[in-house]
Amino acid sequence: MEHEPLLMIPGPVPVPLRVRAAMARQAVNHRGPEFGAAYADCVRVLKTLFGTENELYIISGSGTAGMEAAVANFGRDRTIVSLVNGKFGDRFAKIGQRYGTVRTLASEWGTPLDLEGLERELAEGAEVVTVVHNETSAGIRNPADEVGAIARKYDALCIMDGITSIGGDTVEVDRWGVDVAVAGSQKCLAAPAGLAAISVSERAWDRIAEVRPFYLDLAAYRKSGTGTPMETPYTPAVPLFLALREACLMIEEEGVGARIERHRRMAEAVRAAAAAWGVEIFPTIDGRHAYSNTVTAMRIPAGITDGDLRGTVRKFGIEIAGGQDHLKGKIFRIGTMGGIGAQEVLATVAAVQYALRKSGHPAGDGVQAAAEVLG
């Protein structure tokens, strides 16, 4: 029972003690066999979570560094189609604009992607597609499998942001035809923030850009990562690798299937609470798009301010997330990623329910509804 704030945001997430203890040990030589073994353990488990047999490397940097590595190494001077229905789709487009020619296919945040537009752009010669699998800004899961299939049909490269899905939802990089996929340490993996994992297909390696950035040059990661011991090209954030290794071992112990099912139940419990409260789930889904398995975005009921809602919840030591950019004040979001379990979800749902009622919203018994899912 630590009285640190409970982060129920879409990452960074609470980090289990075992992981933090692994991080707190003394520094090891990053050019030695012990570090190499830790790196290799991470790669082994991450490949399972990615659903890939592609090469996979780890960058000391945030998920955004991983997104940029993907775009800079494989999108430079190319035409990139960016599918956008939220903040991170938009971020891919913004990164793309620094390296290539971007065709943005923008949908309203939280509404389905324009897959017909994607076919059109690819038919016209675009060479790279970017897609966000799980768009946390809007709480929607995008059909990365279909995007991958369409990209393959036109022989384009598919770059996928799996930062907030990998480890918490089914991801099948190889089966979907995703060439470059990115995960973040501080999301469903329940490790601390600061590392990005990136997998690269043979098709992508064959098309790597001639001019690449230095720190994010994936050819350098490949060169250092295929020796013995496994190394990184520049000094890695050693404690974060040791932490991620422990987090990966915990994932193996839980089992990948059980872990994804746990994530599914936690998100389902939050949605059940929202229904009981009379609070609307934000995203608009269809047969291809789904509610996120790892974060639930809901509309703030009329007459309640974001500050009141989250401020009241914070008094219980719980942090939930607001909306980003133009959704500030309009939605709130509850992350259920990583090690989050029934205990944390019940406490959070209870706090939100209290806050809603305190602000005058006639919320029904969401705690009971959530408990029924979790029980």
Q: Residues in the site for a copy of itself, rule: CB under 8 A?
A: 2, 4-5, 7, 9, 11-15, 20-21, 23-30, 32, 60-65, 68, 72, 94-95, 98, 184, 186, 192-195, 211-216, 234-240, 243, 319
Compute CA distances 63 → 76, 104, 165, 286, 336, whole Å: 19, 21, 12, 28, 18
* Nearer Cβ to a copy of itself (209/369): 209
* Nearer Cβ to a copy of itself (38/370): 38
* Nearer Cβ to a copy of itself (154/316): 316
* Nearer Cβ to a copy of itself (52/348): 348
Q: Is 235 exposed, middle or buried (0-12, 13-18, 19+ CB in 10 A)?
A: exposed
Provide the minimum distance between the beta carbon of 19 and a copy of itself in the complex, in angstroms, as a whole number. Answer: 9
172/48 Cα distance (integer angstroms): 9
Determine the residue type at 244: L
Provide the minimum distance between the beta carbon of 37 and a copy of itself in the complex, in angstroms, as a whole number. Answer: 14
Provide the minimum distance between the beta carbon of 62 and a copy of itself in the complex, in angstroms, as a whole number. Answer: 4
* Nearer Cβ to a copy of itself (28/249): 28
Whether 136 and 292 have beta carbons less than 8 Å apart is answered as: yes
Provide the minimum distance between the beta carbon of 279 and a copy of itself in the complex, in angstroms, as a whole number. Answer: 23
Where do runs of H (alpha helix) occur along the chain?
A: 17-23, 33-50, 63-74, 87-97, 115-123, 144-153, 173-176, 202-206, 218-225, 238-254, 256-277, 306-314, 342-358, 366-374
* Nearer Cβ to a copy of itself (4/155): 4
Provide the minimum distance between the beta carbon of 177 and a copy of itself in the complex, in angstroms, as a whole number. Answer: 26
Contacts of 32 by beta carbon, 8 Å cutoff, 6+ apart: 229
Tell me the two tokens of residue 29.
């030589």
Provide the minimum distance between the beta carbon of 123 and a copy of itself in the complex, in angstroms, as a whole number. Answer: 29
Compute CA distances 82 → 139, 163, 240, 327, whole Å: 19, 16, 31, 21
